[in-house]
């Protein structure tokens, strides 16, 4: 049965819905919540419609290829689909790419968000008072806007001052500020979430966890920045999708919610754990290696690399009743197993064939 709010069926636009987190959200909305979804994605390198294959035949799914910076295209989507909710995940998100090409991050993350907010506001103003009260613009952001943490005890809270370190995190901080401004100035009913590092199936293999897995499976060096002592709080992507649903349907308008996995791990430990999982699952070893750990190669650290992120998700737990279902160990095991059994998916990404499908 389709979810509804006060008897009005939900119709959700998901920007960036062909990306890693976006596709997990779309699968959750359709398969679990039975909500009608319009995916909007420009299908840049990180967008992959093959990640939506399990829902693409559903009558609750439709897709529009468009760039969020294109006002006319976004206006047309809103007018045709008539959404009750928007979940904005479209973003350039790879820190390394932001260092070598920051302008694309400003264009998509800042300008694109501004365009989407204006289109959403114009649409919202045409709704009846009851429909306006039900509408939500949910902006999905990152914990990287807070910069990094000193020591081992401090946690990011919703009140932590912004101190972004990279062009990526600065552009996401800018988009967060725009969303808050559109709420305060125009009354647009918004929600903001800032989440810790995600991992899981369908993760584009340039990020740490999937890159480690696929490089190891191909017998290639597994690069680790610096000494690998950077600490991240890891969250299984399906737990994130469940959290976003909680915020979308029960969060208070104008509020920010931090979402974290309570799984702080150093990058080196993450890599070593993955390689140990592969040792336990595969009888073959890379040529000349007794263990997959021997593939580890320490490389020069990247500029401005944050040392530690960690989320205090108390607000999510106490006000919305959300808790992650996966531990770091269970989620990482599921992730490794998925990449072992879905080799065709990631090989097509590595070769670029997915972009011609």
Domain CATH for 177: 3.40.50.720
Residue 295 resides in a domain:
no
Least confident among 3-17, 73-87, 204-218: 3-17
Residue 239 resides in a domain:
yes
Residue 229 resides in a domain:
no
Residue 100 resides in a domain:
yes
* Distance of alpha carbon 324 from alpha carbon 40, whole angstroms: 27
Residue 151 resides in a domain:
yes
Structure tokens at 161: 């001052």
Q: How high is the mean pLDDT of the chain?
A: 94
Confidence of residue 357 (pLDDT cuts 50, 70, 90): low
**φ and ψ at residue 223, rounded to 5 degrees:** -80, 140
Q: How many domains does the chain have?
A: 1
* Distance of alpha carbon 278 from alpha carbon 296, whole angstroms: 14
* Distance of alpha carbon 297 from alpha carbon 11, whole angstroms: 47
pLDDT at 287 over 60: yes
Instruction: Enter the DSSP assignment of 19.
Output: S
Range of the domain at 188: 9-204+234-265+309-327
β-bridge partners, 12: 37, 85
Residue 209 resides in a domain:
no
Structure tokens at 234: 């890891």
The counts of H helices and E strands in the chain are 13, 14
Question: Residues 279-287: what's their mean pLDDT?
Answer: 95
Residue 130 resides in a domain:
yes
Catalytic machinery residues = 143-144, 168
DSSP string, 2-52: --EETTEE-EEEEETTTSHHHHHHHHIIIIIS--EEEEEE---TT--GGGG
Per-residue pLDDT tens over the stretch 162-190: 999 999 999 999 999 999 999 999 999 99
> What's the pLDDT score for residue 7?
62
> What's the pLDDT score for residue 204?
93
Residue 17 resides in a domain:
yes
pLDDT at 263 over 50: yes
């Amino acid at each position: 049965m389709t979810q509804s709010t006060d008897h009005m069926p939900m119709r959700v636009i998901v920007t960036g819905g062909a990306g890693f987190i976006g596709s997990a959200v779309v699968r959750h909305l359709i398969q679990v919540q039975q909500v009608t979804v319009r995916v909007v994605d420009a299908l840049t390198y990180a967008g992959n419609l093959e990640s939506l294959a399990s829902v693409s035949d559903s009558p609750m799914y439709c897709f529009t290829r468009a760039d969020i910076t294109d006002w006319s295209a976004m206006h047309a989507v809103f007018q045709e689909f008539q959404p009750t909710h928007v979940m904005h995940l479209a973003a350039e998100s790879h820190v390394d790419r932001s260092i070598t090409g920051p302008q694309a991050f400003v264009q998509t993350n800042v300008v694109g968000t501004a365009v989407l907010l204006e289109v959403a506001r114009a649409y919202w103003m045409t709704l009846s008072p009851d429909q306006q009260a039900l509408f939500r613009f949910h902006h999905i952001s990152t914990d990287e806007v807070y910069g990094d943490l000193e020591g081992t005890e401090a946690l990011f809270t919703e009140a932590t001052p912004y101190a972004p370190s990279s062009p990526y995190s600065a552009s996401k901080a800018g988009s967060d500020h725009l969303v808050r401004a559109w709420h305060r100035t125009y009354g647009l009913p918004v929600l903001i979430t800032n989440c810790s590092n995600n991992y899981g199936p369908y993760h584009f293999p340039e990020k740490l966890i999937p890159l480690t897995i696929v490089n190891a499976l191909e017998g290639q060096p597994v690069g680790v920045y610096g000494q690998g002592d950077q600490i991240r709080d890891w969250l299984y992507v399906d737990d994130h999708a469940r959290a976003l649903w909680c915020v979308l349907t029960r969060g208070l308008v104008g509020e920010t919610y931090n979402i974290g996995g309570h799984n702080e791990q150093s990058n080196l430990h993450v890599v070593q754990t993955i390689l140990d999982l592969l040792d336990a699952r595969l009888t073959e070893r890379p040529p000349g290696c007794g263990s997959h750990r021997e593939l580890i190669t320490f490389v020069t650290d990247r500029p401005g690399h944050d040392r530690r992120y960690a989320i205090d998700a108390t607000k999510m737990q106490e006000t919305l009743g959300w808790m992650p279902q996966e531990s770091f160990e269970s989620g990482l095991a599921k992730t490794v197993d998925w990449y072992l059994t879905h080799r065709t998916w990631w090989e097509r990404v590595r070769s670029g064939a997915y972009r011609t499908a």
